[in-house]
């Protein structure tokens, strides 16, 4: 595991401190760990621990839960070492092949080549052969079998290759989700994948990738990447916490899981005696169980596990007699804190020395995607402004999309082909409009245009016309425009007449404001008063009048039922989800539309912005 992280990237522990240091040197120490996920976790840990120290004073004992597979047997460690040596030899072999092919040896080129070998030079999604030239031309992309956005699994076992055009069509779907509705096609894809992902000497785990490729359902809660990070976080968290407490213990996750079940903690959040991850408070229950764990309980647990695996343990000892009831009362009062990135845009200065003189550069660093990836060209036709972009012809799937094709000759050719196939099917283009797949799995074009010599040339790409509101130019004097999709915040304000209005501000706009030294939050020209601002994960009380909240004597039973976080923001549409929900699929949300007093109106919910600290303390803003 230490090979994943630099050998010098460990937290030094000397004397016991009153607080975890908060300064530039302390920040550098955490950043030296060279893993952004681990660093972020320890920054959050610092905020929580320091707040607890302020509230309750010095801490006598701290317990940290460890990823349950951190402690492995000697046989497992040897197996891991053998696998690491095998991978090192394979990487050396691939590096030599890349040099022979005249390719640069980089992490990405090594990965591309290994995936190419593993899938036997064939795109598992389309069945098309991939040449060595195509591999490094950008025509082929590395693809997560279980989509990254849903699995966060960045392991080799979750990667393969896919032609870029097909990858765009497939989108954020697994192979089954995209192809499974066509039973005959899905059967052919599975048969092909079985042949491609067969175990070889170089790739002995390829068959496991086949099973992942054809999987119909997958658990998208956790990933290998997360597990690796959790392992390291556990160890470094202990080192870090030793700065403020001499007694820091790391306990295995399996012990926590078993004790939680034996003590009846699983029933607090649901009726079945099983842990639920749909409610964020399961983390608090885990922490409580860890805090109460003693050697005697673990010994007792070990005995019951060994001899009474299927026995319901009614006499298992409790930390104290009213433990379960006290835990239930405490959990019911929890207000969940949701992390909001406060410094998503920062102004940075960098000093460089050249020819004996020092120069200071001022720049803006942004965390997040400023705009959609597609770059458009701006055109004005017959006095109308539009944006053009080249797309693969088979990205056209509907009659509505067909109308966006710029070239009339191509558009008419597509319509003629559609009519030959029997016309549109409920507004969709029929199958095989653009290509027919031959017996070798190769797509044969069906639409052609004559070149200068009158010879037919297949149509593979077309220019599409898009209307983009608020498009931004990437560079001055260069006809490259982008769609600034991401919203940074929504500013709610009153105009001169006292009417409530909104101003949706994009990430792009905020970066420009920061770059030019302007305030991030600005009233529009017709604005008189800022009411509030909305960002993702801002916390609000909904459905309460101001006089219903006694800030001197808080009633948590009321507050917990009315506390929501901002989940999603679009113009005129604000989605708020209950603070307890760890998913976005339950029905514990409200949607506010407009500033009226109707069913979904702003004045019906009376949003009151609050702050929830990392320890669950509530404060009005």
Q: What are the extents of the domains in the chain?
A: 106-213, 377-466, 487-620
Rounded Cα distance between 134 and 142, Å, is: 13
Instruction: Please state the pTM of the whole predicted model.
Output: 0.57
φ, ψ for residue 516, nearest 5 deg: -100, 10
For the cut 60, the answer to whether the pLDDT of residue 3 exceeds it is no
Residue 367 corresponds to which tokens in the numbers above? 């965390």
Rounded Cα distance between 444 and 5, Å, is: 48
In this predicted model, which residue has the larger pLDDT, 360 or 502?
Answer: 502
Q: How confident is the model at residue 222 (pLDDT cuts 50, 70, 90)?
A: very low
Helix 36-56 crosses helix 224-241 at what angle (to 10 degrees)?
40
Where is average pLDDT lowest: 134-143, 288-297, 340-349, 374-383? 340-349
Rounded Cα distance between 202 and 217, Å, is: 28
For the cut 60, the answer to whether the pLDDT of residue 137 exceeds it is yes
pLDDT of residue 348: 60
Q: How confident is the model at residue 210 (pLDDT cuts 50, 70, 90)?
A: very high
Query: Mind giving me the DSSP string for 335-357?
Result: -------TTSEEEEEEEEEETTE
Buried b (16+ CB within 10 A) or exposed e, 14-37: eeeeeebeeeeeeeebbeebebeb
In this predicted model, which residue has the larger pLDDT, 263 or 363?
Answer: 263
For the cut 90, the answer to whether the pLDDT of residue 189 exceeds it is yes
For the cut 70, the answer to whether the pLDDT of residue 421 exceeds it is yes
Helix 183-196 crosses helix 206-213 at what angle (to 10 degrees)?
170
Beta bridge partners of 309: none
Grouping H, G, I as helix, E, B as strand and the rest as coil, residue 42 is helix
Alpha carbon dihedral 162, 167, 171, 172, in 10-degree steps, equals: 20
Residue 454 corresponds to which tokens in the numbers above? 């009158």
pLDDT tens, residue by residue, 337-389: 998 765 455 656 666 677 777 766 655 555 555 545 456 667 776 667 777 87
Grouping H, G, I as helix, E, B as strand and the rest as coil, residue 23 is coil
Q: How confident is the model at residue 545 (pLDDT cuts 50, 70, 90)?
A: confident
pLDDT of residue 301: 65
For the cut 60, the answer to whether the pLDDT of residue 12 exceeds it is no
How many Cα atoms occupy the beta-carbon half-sphere of 351 within 13 Å? 3
Rounded Cα distance between 162 and 142, Å, is: 6
pLDDT of residue 496: 92
For the cut 70, the answer to whether the pLDDT of residue 7 exceeds it is no
User: Residues of the chain with pLDDT > 70: what percent?
Assistant: 78
Q: Give the largest CA-CA distance in the chain.
A: 92
Q: How confident is the model at residue 474 (pLDDT cuts 50, 70, 90)?
A: low
pLDDT of residue 491: 96
User: Residues of the chain with pLDDT > 90: what percent?
Assistant: 36
The pLDDT mean for the chain works out to 82
For the cut 50, the answer to whether the pLDDT of residue 583 exceeds it is yes
Rounded Cα distance between 366 and 510, Å, is: 10
pLDDT tens, residue by residue, 51-109: 999 999 999 999 887 654 434 455 665 677 788 788 888 989 999 999 998 999 888 89
pLDDT of residue 376: 63
CA distances, 339 to each of 256, 369, 561, 614 (Å): 25, 18, 20, 8
Q: How confident is the model at residue 227 (pLDDT cuts 50, 70, 90)?
A: very low
The predicted model gives 194-222 an average pLDDT of 83
pLDDT tens, residue by residue, 35-56: 676 788 888 899 999 999 999 9
Residue 343 corresponds to which tokens in the numbers above? 């410094």
CA distances, 473 to each of 14, 270, 478 (Å): 53, 52, 8
Rounded Cα distance between 493 and 530, Å, is: 4
Cα 101–104–110 angle (5° rounding)?
Answer: 85
pLDDT of residue 345: 59
pLDDT of residue 540: 96
pLDDT tens, residue by residue, 434-464: 988 777 667 888 999 888 888 888 999 888 8
Residue 447 corresponds to which tokens in the numbers above? 């639409």
């Amino acid at each position: 595991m230490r090979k994943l992280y630099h050998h010098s990237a460990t937290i030094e522990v000397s004397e016991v401190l009153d607080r975890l240091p908060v300064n530039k040197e302390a920040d550098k120490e955490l950043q030296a760990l060279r893993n952004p996920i681990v660093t972020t976790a320890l920054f959050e840990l610092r905020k929580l621990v320091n707040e607890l120290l302020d509230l309750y004073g010095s801490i006598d004992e701290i317990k940290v839960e460890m990823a349950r597979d951190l402690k492995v047997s000697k046989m497992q460690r040897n197996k891991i070492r053998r696998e690491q040596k095998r991978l090192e030899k394979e990487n050396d072999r691939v590096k030599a092949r890349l040099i022979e092919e005249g390719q640069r040896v980089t992490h990405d080129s090594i990965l591309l080549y290994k995936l190419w070998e593993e899938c036997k030079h064939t795109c598992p999604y389309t069945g098309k052969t991939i040449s060595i030239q195509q591999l490094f031309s950008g025509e082929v992309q590395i693809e997560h079998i279980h989509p990254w956005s849903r699995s966060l699994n960045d392991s080799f076992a979750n990667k393969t290759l896919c032609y870029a055009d097909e990858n765009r069509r497939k989108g954020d779907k697994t192979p089954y989700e995209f192809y499974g509705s066509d039973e005959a096609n899905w059967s052919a894809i599975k048969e092909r994948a079985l042949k491609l992902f067969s175990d070889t000497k170089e790739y002995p785990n390829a068959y496991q990738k086949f099973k992942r490729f054809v999987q119909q359902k997958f658990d998208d809660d956790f990933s290998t990447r997360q597990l690796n990070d959790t392992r390291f976080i556990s160890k470094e968290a202990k080192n870090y916490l030793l700065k403020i407490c001499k007694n820091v213990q790391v306990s295995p996750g399996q012990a926590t899981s078993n004790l939680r079940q034996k003590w009846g903690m699983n029933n607090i959040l649901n009726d079945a005696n099983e842990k639920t991850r749909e409610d964020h408070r399961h983390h608090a229950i885990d922490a409580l169980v860890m805090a109460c764990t003693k050697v005697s309980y673990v010994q007792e647990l070990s005995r019951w596990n060994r001899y009474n695996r299927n026995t319901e343990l009614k006499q298992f000892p409790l930390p104290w007699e009213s433990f379960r009831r006290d835990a239930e009362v405490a959990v019911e009062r929890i207000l969940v804190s949701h992390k909001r990135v406060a410094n998503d845009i920062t102004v940075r200065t960098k000093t460089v020395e050249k020819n004996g003189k020092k120069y200071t550069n001022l720049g803006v660093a942004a965390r997040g995607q400023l705009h959609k990836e597609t770059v458009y060209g701006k055109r004005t036709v017959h006095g109308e402004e539009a944006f053009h972009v080249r797309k693969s012809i088979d990205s056209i799937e509907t009659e509505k999309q067909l109308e966006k094709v710029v070239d009339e000759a191509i558009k008419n050719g597509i319509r003629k082909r559609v009519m030959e196939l029997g016309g549109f099917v409920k507004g969709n283009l029929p199958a095989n409009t653009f290509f027919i797949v031959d017996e070798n799995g190769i797509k044969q074009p069906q639409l052609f245009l004559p070149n200068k010599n009158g010879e037919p040339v297949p149509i593979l790409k077309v220019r599409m016309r898009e209307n983009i509101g608020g498009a931004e130019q990437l560079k001055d004097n260069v006809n490259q425009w982008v769609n600034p999709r991401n919203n940074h915040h929504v500013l709610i304000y009153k105009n001169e007449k006292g009417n409530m209005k909104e101003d949706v501000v994009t990430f792009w706009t905020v970066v420009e404001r920061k770059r030019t030294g302007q305030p991030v939050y600005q009233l529009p020209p017709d604005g008189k008063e800022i009411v509030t601002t909305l960002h993702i994960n801002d916390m609000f009380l909904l459905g309460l009048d101001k006089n219903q909240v006694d800030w001197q004597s808080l009633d948590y039973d009321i507050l917990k039922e009315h506390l929501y976080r901002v989940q999603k923001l679009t113009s005129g549409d604000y989605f708020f989800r209950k603070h307890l929900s760890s998913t976005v699929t339950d029905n514990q949300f409200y949607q506010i539309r407009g500033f009226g007093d109707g069913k979904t109106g702003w004045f019906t919910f009376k949003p009151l912005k609050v702050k929830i600290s990392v320890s669950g303390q509530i404060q009005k803003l």
